[in-house]
């Protein structure tokens, strides 16, 4: 059976030592253990360290995370319920491969939520808030300049999170939070293809927010999220044709 983690990151002293090179730290206590394990595995999936379709082995995850197998087993059950992994009878756990339909549904919901967030942000942002948005925009441009896909995902998430915070609506923020993690996972493969277009749209959006132009901010965010959805499907189609 092939090893569930990338061979290029394994060390001979431990089957799961390759995860030590990943960005996610070991589980930190005293966070509730099952929650910490759950969060850590999700981050490994989002970052691509645990690739789509990858076989997951309880013992290896437990060794890397520095916990017993019980909280890993509990986390895997919850991860299945939340759509991150699949538990297959007599085969074990595998990272979920999202279908076109489920991605499209999540992105459609994201468009609605983010569009409302942009409208509220435009009505509330102060000059200091806008300066912070421009700083986050520069982080994205810096990542774009060096072709850093993970940096682009992080910068994109930070900018959108800042806009959500400016909206000042806790219920809206909670709902956006529900889709954000999976969105980061879906966004990684298209961070480069979206590239300059996405960050040009961000600049337009920040300009509209700075001007307090609710209508324009709403329109720009709607077009921005829809173009991202179109890019995702186009890239998946292109990959399928190549395969």
CATH code 1.10.10.10 region(s) in the chain:
7-95
Q: Is the pTM of this model over 0.75?
A: yes
For the chain, what percentages of helix, strand and coil (3-state, to nearest 5) are there? 70, 5, 25
The CATH code for residues 7-95 is: 1.10.10.10
Q: What is the rounded distance in angstroms from the CA atom of residue 167 to the CA atom of residue 162? A: 9
- DSSP-based three-state secondary structure for 13: coil
The CATH code for residues 100-242 is: 1.20.120.530
Q: What is the rounded distance in angstroms from the CA atom of residue 201 to the CA atom of residue 207? A: 10
Residue-wise pLDDT tens for the chain (243 aa)?
445 454 444 443 444 445 555 555 566 555 588 899 999 999 999 988 999 999 999 999 999 999 999 999 999 999 999 999 999 999 999 999 999 899 999 999 999 999 999 999 999 999 999 999 999 999 999 999 999 988 999 999 999 999 999 999 999 999 999 898 899 899 888 888 898 999 999 999 999 999 999 999 999 999 999 999 999 888 888 877 776
CA distances from 45 to 183, 199, 219 (A): 12, 25, 32
CATH code 1.20.120.530 region(s) in the chain:
100-242
Q: What is the rounded distance in angstroms from the CA atom of residue 9 to the CA atom of residue 4? A: 11
Q: How many CB atoms lie within 10 A of CB 157?
A: 17
Q: How many CB atoms lie within 10 A of CB 242?
A: 6
């Amino acid at each position: 059976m092939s090893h569930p983690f990338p061979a290029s990151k394994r060390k001979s002293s431990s089957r799961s030592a390759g995860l030590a090179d990943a960005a996610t730290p070991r589980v930190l206590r005293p966070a509730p253990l099952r929650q910490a394990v759950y969060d850590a595995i999700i981050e490994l999936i989002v970052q691509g360290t645990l690739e789509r379709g990858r076989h997951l082995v309880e013992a290896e995850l437990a060794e890397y995370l520095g916990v017993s197998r019980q909280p890993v087993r509990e986390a895997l059950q919850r991860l299945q319920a939340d759509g991150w992994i699949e538990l297959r009878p007599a085969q074990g756990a595998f990272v979920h491969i999202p279908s076109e339909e489920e991605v499209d549904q999540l992105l459609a919901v994201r468009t609605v939520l983010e569009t409302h967030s942009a409208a509220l942000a435009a009505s509330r942002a102060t000059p200091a808030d806008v300066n912070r948005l421009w700083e986050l925009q520069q982080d994205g441009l810096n990542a774009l300049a060096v072709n850093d896909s993970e940096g682009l995902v992080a910068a994109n998430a930070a900018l959108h999170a800042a806009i959500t915070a400016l909206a000042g609506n806790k219920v809206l923020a909670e709902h956006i939070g529900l889709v954000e993690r999976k969105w980061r996972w879906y966004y990684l493969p298209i961070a480069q293809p979206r590239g300059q277009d996405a960050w040009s749209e961000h600049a337009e959006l920040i300009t509209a927010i700075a001007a307090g132009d609710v209508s324009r901010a709403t329109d720009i965010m709607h077009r921005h999220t829809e173009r991202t959805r179109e890019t995702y499907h186009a890239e998946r189609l292109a990959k399928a044709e190549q395969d």
